[in-house]
Amino acid sequence: MKKTLLIVLILLFSGTLAACERTIPDYTVDEAFSLMNEAIGRWLDADSFVVDYASAYAVGDAATIETMSVRLKRGGTDALIALIAASIEEPSRSQTFETHYEDGAAYTARDEDGSVTKTRTETPRAAFEALYRSFLKTRIDADDVRAVTILVDADRCSVRFEFDATRIADTFHVPSGVDSVGFATVTVGFTHAGVLQTLDVSYETVEDDASGTETYSVVFSKLDRYVVIARLSASEKADYAEAASDAA
């Protein structure tokens, strides 16, 4: 009886281990590329999201480091609300800012080297939203890539490739002032269910005849899921002065 019970326990334990093993999909490059574009499409269509962004733009010995968290919901509608918290470190100055967007206006509190200013700027919804979606603007055309490799594990797939320089500005973020760019190295990470998770981009730049490098990473979360954003009260809004008409 004890021997029979032991055999049953071994069989049950073996079955549990087998159930816990997760299958790693065996994608072809084309299949992984297609699933990547499916994931990008979901990002492009998402009406709510949270993204965390970090970048380094270096020209010569000077570098600008930026980090940013973006929370957005009701995208694509005039009811859009968003909250952006960012910090920028430049060779000559540092600044942090927090921007609330609601009712067609951006309310920005900026702290530059300890000096705080609060401004309200009327901003078209579409322009504001496009700015904070500019990390990744379109799906990736297979004709614009070379040297594609894929890495697959039980949780996700990553597609790495080199990207045509002439298409970078239409597809990824390019800092203002850049005159030209070289081809980009890009890695896109997503789940096997086709949900975008990460993006890493790096490319060479030329600005005023000086060579540089732009590198940034994005973590995508809460795509089309509930995002909490606290709205400003009327008294809080009263602390913001109307921005000058020529303000950026």
Q: How confident is the model at residue 172 (pLDDT cuts 50, 70, 90)?
A: very high
- Which of the residue ranges 11-15, 73-77, 128-132, 215-219 would you say has the lowest mean pLDDT? 11-15
Report domain extents, the chain.
Answer: 29-242
Region for 168 from its dihedrals, namely left if φ exceeds 0, alpha if ψ lies in -120 to 50, beta otherwise: alpha
Looking at residue 9, its amino acid is: L
Out of 20-24, 65-69, 73-77, pick the least confident: 20-24
Q: What is the mean pLDDT of the chain?
A: 90
Distances (CA, A) of 198 to 51, 77, 136, 193: 9, 26, 11, 14
29-242 architecture in CATH? Answer: Clam (2.50)
Strands (E), 123-225: 145-152, 156-163, 180-191, 196-207, 210-221
pLDDT at residue 21 in the model: 59
In the predicted model, is pLDDT for residue 133 greater than 70? yes
Mean pLDDT computed over 183-206: 97
pLDDT at 105: 96
Average pLDDT of span 219-243: 94
> Dihedrals φ, ψ of 23, to 5°?
-80, 135
The pLDDT, as a whole number, for residue 7 is: 47
Would you place residue 4 in the very low, low, confident or very high pLDDT band (cuts 50, 70, 90)?
low
pLDDT of residue 248: 40
- Half-sphere exposure in the Cβ direction for 136 (13 Å, CA): 32
Q: What percent of the chain has pLDDT over 90?
A: 79
Report the length, in residues, of the chain. Answer: 248
Q: Retrieve residue 23's tokens.
A: 């299958």
